Amino acid sequence: MEHKDTTELEPKNPAQETPTVTPPQEELDELQTKVRNLPEAKWNLYQRIGGAILGLLCGFLLTYFGSYESVGMFGTIAAVVIALFAPNLIEKRLKRSLQKGRVALMIGLAAWMLAYLLIMLLSGTPMLVNPA
């Protein structure tokens, strides 16, 4: 019976392995370079502040302009466009992830809507109104 030695499965010359290919450095403008050089903690803080401001802006557009019959629809459309497209556009411009900013946007919007709901309940404003 013949016994084959299977302990040597690795290549004999490790220098001939696949060479590592470094991707070419992408061209960054001044703003992108500044953003890339920010420390992670500071970048997360900026994301959260910006996301919260955008969330509050969306809530304002939904509630304030939503109360007008003539422009209420445009406030809703503007809030949706800001919430959906603004983070993507900013992320593409800065070339850095905005995941924490998106979460802050949703939290800011939820906080605005909850505060608006509480104000409506405390002031006695009817939640549903029958159309005339």
pLDDT digits (tens, 9 = 90+) for 81-94: 999 999 999 999 88
Higher pLDDT, 15 or 57: 57
Instruction: Examine residue 33 and state whether it is found in any structural domain, yes or no.
Output: no
Higher pLDDT, 129 or 7: 129
Percent of the chain with pLDDT over 70: 77
Instruction: Examine residue 92 and state whether it is found in any structural domain, yes or no.
Output: yes
Note the pTM of the prediction, 2 decimals. 0.71
Domain that holds residue 92: 38-123
107 pLDDT above the threshold of 80: yes
For the chain, the domain total comes to 1
Instruction: Examine residue 58 and state whether it is found in any structural domain, yes or no.
Output: yes
- Average of pLDDT values for 107-117? 94
Instruction: Examine residue 75 and state whether it is found in any structural domain, yes or no.
Output: yes
Q: Which pLDDT score is estimated for 37?
A: 87
Higher pLDDT, 29 or 8: 29
- Euclidean distance between CA atoms 72 and 94, whole angstroms: 32
What are 62's two structure tokens?
């939904």
Instruction: Examine residue 97 and state whether it is found in any structural domain, yes or no.
Output: yes
- Average of pLDDT values for 1-17? 58
Q: 89, 107, 88: which is closest to 48 by C-alpha?
A: 107
